[in-house]
Amino acid sequence: MGGLKKSEGFALVGVILLSVCLLILTGALVQWIRQESRVSVKQQKSTLAFHLAEAAIDRGRWKLQESNSIWDQTGQGTPLTNYNFDKAYKDIVGGQYAIRITSVSNNSDQRIIEGVGRDSSTKEVRRIYAIAERQTLDSAIWSGGEVELKKNSEVHWGPIKSQTDIELEQSQADAGFPRMYSRGKIELIDENSNPPNTDNVQYWAFFDVPPRPLIDFNALKSSAQANGTYFPEGDTWEDAYPGSPNFDCDKDPCKNNEATYLPKIDDGLIWYFEKDFKLKKGTFVTGVVVTMKQFKVEGDVECKGYYSAAPPANAWMEYRKIDTSAADQWYADAGGGPPSTLSANFTWQSSGSPLKRDGIAKGVCFRGFVYAKEEFEIKKETIVHGMIIVEKDEVENSKSTIVFYDKDAGKNVTIARTTVNIVEWREQPGAWPPGL
């Protein structure tokens, strides 16, 4: 019996020790749970504050694209009411946010948006700094459909942007220029949607190409109507000026009556066609052409746009893949790079064999801005100096078409509303604005 009682005593001691250990562990567990709960709540509040700061950035972006006047005001150093850390927005449950919009000193197409969010219960604050950029008429070719370059066609001084695919032949794929941005594939360069889809120099396939700026077509139509260059029914130059099928004023009947047949084509006006626009080669047209159908260039006569112009300051960006210190690798390449310097003037002329840095021995058919709602098609050797935008279908350049980008081609094109995208953002430390 005594041995049994001794054994029971040891068991009792063990039970007591176990209970003490459980009590200690339970207390530690409760403390740990409380600590984790506090950390979790803090993280939740911090996350809420961050989302509030994101909401501030988004609201600032939408404000910038509300109207062109808003964009202009924010670039003039004048604070925008309610967007200068002078208002606390409380439209999101659980907290509030504030916004400040300021200009970028060296880029008129960008604005700075700062957003700060604060959780209501814990006063947790998060802050985001973002760069917003408006979409401008900034490409040699922009297409809502495919862009097709065939048979030695080239694009110089500005990028190509497509909302679908870019179709190339081997010569264009091997050329190394211009920059190409496509929501879909870029044939012979990148046809697989698996990343990476860019070399960060020349091409960006399966890329989020932004939409074109919103053009004020009513304003363009009104200008054309005022100048007698609006054609609601006629679809060709022949309809505009009957009897001059090639618009070559060295020949009859245009030769002796230029005042009738060619009074306006080189005046830089706005031309608005409700149907097709068909340009017979042999002439030189300047200005803005809007067609609600197709833009086509046909014929074999050399065009007569003989003039000099300065290339865009950023033209060298199209050739970073091939650029060296040598000159004449591309049109207007004065050498000395990379990046190469640009020739001060580039000449389109009727004869001779100028070096690439100085010019090209051909004339321009169209200089300016083209908008075609359905299609842009060139079937013969043609030179375009300006910008091309096609809304629905495709841009098809064949037979050695050469497009030279002109950044000023769209200066007479009224933009109805600014489209703004966030191109850079980062979180930064900062307190809630004082006084709010």
> What is the pLDDT, as a whole number, of residue 377?
87
Q: In this predicted model, what pLDDT tens digit does every residue of 79-105 receive, in sequence order?
A: 999 999 999 999 999 999 999 999 998
213, pLDDT greater than 90:
no
Residue 267: the pLDDT is 73
Q: Which among 80, 115, 70 has a CA at the least distance from the CA of 422?
A: 115
Q: Which two tokens stand for residue 323?
A: 């650029």
pLDDT at position 211 over 80? yes
**Torsion sign (Cα): 336, 340, 346, 349:** positive
Q: What is the DSSP string of 287-310?
A: EEEEESSEEEEE-SSPP-B-EEEP
Q: What is the pLDDT of residue 95?
A: 95
Give the mean model confidence (pLDDT) for residues 226-236.
Answer: 72
pLDDT for 284: 79
Q: Which two tokens stand for residue 122?
A: 């814990």
Of 296 and 21, which is predicted with more confidence? 296
DSSP states of 175-187 = H--S-EEESS-BT
Give percent above pLDDT 90 in the chain. 54
Distance CA 183, CA 145 (A): 10
Q: What is the pLDDT of residue 23?
A: 66
Torsion angle defined by CA atoms of residues 279, 285, 287 and 291, in that order, rounded to the nearest 10 degrees? -10
Whether the per-residue pLDDT at 218 is higher than 50: the answer is yes
Write b or e for each residue in 210-224: b if 16 or more Cβ atoms lie within 10 A of its Cβ, otherwise e. Answer: bebbebebeebbebb
Report how far residue 144's alpha carbon sits from residue 183's, in angstroms, rounded to the nearest whole number: 10
Element at 36 (helix H, strand E): helix 2-64
Stretch 224-240: mean pLDDT: 69
State how far the Cα of 295 lies from the Cα of 378, in Å rounded to an integer.
8
Average pLDDT, the chain: 84
Q: Look at residue 352 and tell me whether its pLDDT is greater than 90.
A: no
CB atoms within 10 A of CB 349: 16
Tokens of 79: 């604070």
pLDDT at 242 (0 to 100): 46
Nearest alpha carbon to residue 423 among 138, 79, 184, 46: 138
**Joined tokens for residue 435:** 């006084």
At 244, is the pLDDT very low, low, confident or very high (cuts 50, 70, 90)? very low
Q: Which of 148, 142, 163 is nearest to 369 (CA)?
A: 142
Q: Does the pLDDT value for residue 239 go beyond 70?
A: no
- Angstrom distance (rounded) from CA 384 to CA 373: 18
* Residue 261: predicted pLDDT: 42
Tens of pLDDT, residues 302-351 = 788 899 999 999 999 999 999 999 999 999 999 998 999 999 999 998 88
User: Residue 384: its pLDDT value, please?
Assistant: 94
Classified as helix, coil or strand, 398 is coil
For residue range 13-72, list pLDDT tens digits in order.
666 666 667 666 666 565 655 555 444 444 544 689 999 999 999 999 999 999 888 999
Q: How far apart are CA 72 and CA 51, in angstroms?
A: 28
What residues does each domain of the chain span?
Answer: 44-135+418-436, 141-305+363-417
- All residues at 6 or more sequence positions from 9 whose CB lies less than 8 Å from its CB, including other chains: none
pLDDT in tens, 161-192: 999 999 999 989 999 999 999 999 999 999 99
Give yes or no for a contact between 136 and 213, defined as CB atoms under 8 angstroms apart: yes
User: pTM for the full model?
Assistant: 0.77
